[in-house]
Amino acid sequence: MVVGKVMFVHIVLRGLNIERVFVRGLDEEDQMNGLDLSTESQYKVMRMVTDHAAAASLHYFHSNTHQNAFDTVLRTFLHWLR
């Protein structure tokens, strides 16, 4: 039984705007070859978490952009992700 962290979450930012979010399993990361930003996870559950995180980032972005509160968007997204 695995207890604790079982995934890596990578958030690509452009300024304070969330550009992209992707999730990978711990065994999918290869520190020797660097970070692969184009390949999806081999695990279906990680792809589903990626889809939900992308939808959440869009929700928080569109619900707070009228206030120009990009720091609030990032803070609430990170709170949701936790």
41 in a structural domain = yes
1 in a structural domain = no
Question: What is the Cα Rg of the chain in Å?
Answer: 14
pTM of the model as a whole: 0.76
Residue 1 in this model has a pLDDT that exceeds 50:
no
Please state, rounded to an integer, the average pLDDT across all residues of the chain: 80
| Structure-token pair, residue 30 | 């290869």
Residue type, 30: D
In this prediction, residue 51 carries a pLDDT of: 94
Q: Which domain holds residue 40?
A: 7-81
Domain count, the chain: 1
- pLDDT tens per residue, range 9-41: 888 888 878 888 988 888 887 666 677 778 888
* Residue 23 near residue 49 (C-beta atoms within 8 A): yes
In this prediction, residue 72 carries a pLDDT of: 80
